Structure 1
Amino acid sequence: MNMRFLIVGLIAAGLSGCDQPEPPKPPAPAKTAQTFAPLTVTVEKTKVAKPGCKAKACPTLETDLERPSSDPVIDAQVDSALASMILLGDKPVQYSSIKTLAADFWAKAESDWNIELQSRVLYQNGPLLVVQLDSYLYNGGAHGIPNTLYLNIDRAHGNRVLTLADMLAEGQESAFWELVKPLHAAWLKEMDSTDAEFAQTWPFSKTPNVALLKDGIRVKYQVYEAGPFAFGQPEFVVSRDKLAPLLRPEFR
């Protein structure tokens, strides 16, 4: 065979091979939605007096905790938030744990000072974990001061704490508070405090302290926010049926 024809034939064969379609690529594996199993909750109760105190009335620190113990990171986050609710001086302190709060408390406490700390896991739904934190501090005077804080923890986004704005669709906060107002008015009627003077002294106000629960969004005020100390910490629930058009789709 003529060598020239052989070379041309080989080139033609190579070119025809280039025209062949590439084999189809295997499909990319489908992304599966991340699932979040409910966290295990461990109950822990303690009551400790100030170390070395020999007096009849010693400072005490009491805890009654529901700890999300199966997630150490969230457990530590909740522990720090609960401890930091206690104000022992003029300025808030961000305590890393109840243990560090205790050390500060023992250093400052007098006679019958008392701290009570409580945590309750209210709701778990997928990545959402809602915890109620309650604190009580007595450091002299006529009475102690209670306080409540809700943590709405989003496990899908780095355990960030959700605000009301995160729960509601954009531009719906005003509509939400319009739903709270009649609940507040009904509470004032129950407390027999509907006169103009009371309304002027304690006008309706908003609070960042909200919890996204199965039955709706719970709003809770601290003492002195909605009325005098004797009125306590009023709370109101805006039901799910009324919230439906206001919530972000992932929370409906």
Structure 2
Amino acid sequence: MTLVKLTSVAVLALALGACQSVFAPNYRTPLEVKRDAWEHIKPGCTESDCPLVNIDTVSFPALPKLDGIVERRLLQLTEDNERSTPPSSLKAYEQQYLATAQKRNSSYLQAKVREQHDGLVIVELSSYLDTGGAHGMPGRDLINYSRQQDKVLTLQDMLLPGQEDTFWKTVAESHRAWLMSVEMDKDAEFIKTWPFRKSPHIALTYGAMIVKYEVYAIAPYSMGHVELKIPYPRLNGILKPELFPGRG
């Protein structure tokens, strides 16, 4: 009799576990990611320096909502977004760009999954717009998509109430550490020319929270996209506890 009861309990436990696996998503399992890449030159152009558009992006078969977010954010990195009516899609952007682009002009847009952990999908977006000058203009953006909350997290979503000023003071400390690492902490002219400032580009990567900067934001073009890293222990009492890696 005891053996029968134990067997019944075991079967019930397995059945409950199966139901949970069917109806509750496992956020520790990464989403499937598909890559979509292409490059096209201006129709009819046969020269060596034809205008071109190169697009390398990602899609998520199980989460098409995120596909649309990635596409819109890529379009925000294009020069066409300065116009009153931005293009409706990457395909439309390509057509508009190639219709008016001159020789030696090119546009590169890329989206890649930087990390997936704890139900977060972190997408890094890159652009490079070349108008034929000495160098092109690169751009960056970051998306922190919470599968649990089914939305892109803003900084306000990440921080405990009333902690934004403390957060930026902590980032400023990381900036001072970065200045030391590049041996610019004693260069008064550099510090005056390139003072610390906030950035909208933030990501909850597994190893540390990062704050990324556009070129010319806090350093000259030659230093690229500066990336400050804030270790999670320094964010105790600042970042919402459930967003620390491993606690979700």
TM range (shorter): 0.7 to 0.9
Give the corresponding residue for 2:45: 53
Which amino acid is the alignment partner of residue 183 of structure 2?
D
Gaps of 5+ in 2: 1-19
Contact 2:33 2:58 in 1 (8 A): yes
Change in 2 beyond 3 A, CA 1:89/1:172: closer
Q: What is the distance in 1 between the residues matched to 2:218 and 2:176?
A: 11
Give the corresponding residue for 2:169: 178
Gaps of 5+ in 1: 1-31
Q: Which has the larger radius of gyration?
A: 1
Total equivalences in the alignment: 220
1:218 aligns with 2:210: yes
Moved more, 237-246 or 110-119: 237-246
Instruction: Tell me the TM-score normalized by structure 2.
Output: 0.79
1:99 aligns with 2:99: no
1:138 aligns with 2:133: no
Contact 2:58 2:67 in 1 (8 A): no
Change in 2 beyond 3 A, CA 1:59/1:80: same
Comparing both chains, which one has the higher relative contact order based on Cα–Cα distances under 8 Å and sequence gaps of 6 or more?
2
Q: What is the distance in 2 between the residues matched to 1:58 and 1:69?
A: 34
Contact 2:53 2:98 in 1 (8 A): no
2:224 aligned to which of 199, 215, 232: 232
Contact 2:116 2:122 in 1 (8 A): yes
Q: CA shift at 1:176, angstroms?
A: 1.8
- Structure 2 SS opposite 1:215: coil
- Structure 2 SS opposite 1:107: helix
Change in 2 beyond 3 A, CA 1:92/1:165: farther
- Structure 2 SS opposite 1:106: helix
1:241 aligned to which of 189, 208, 233: 233
Q: What is the distance in 2 between the residues matched to 1:89 and 1:42?
A: 26
Q: CA shift at 1:140, angstroms?
A: 2.4
Instruction: Tell me the TM-score normalized by structure 1.
Output: 0.78
Give the corresponding residue for 1:192: 183
Contact 1:80 1:94 in 2 (8 A): no
Which amino acid is the alignment partner of residue 43 of structure 1?
R
Q: What is the distance in 1 between the residues matched to 2:180 and 2:229?
A: 17
Change in 2 beyond 3 A, CA 1:250/1:190: closer
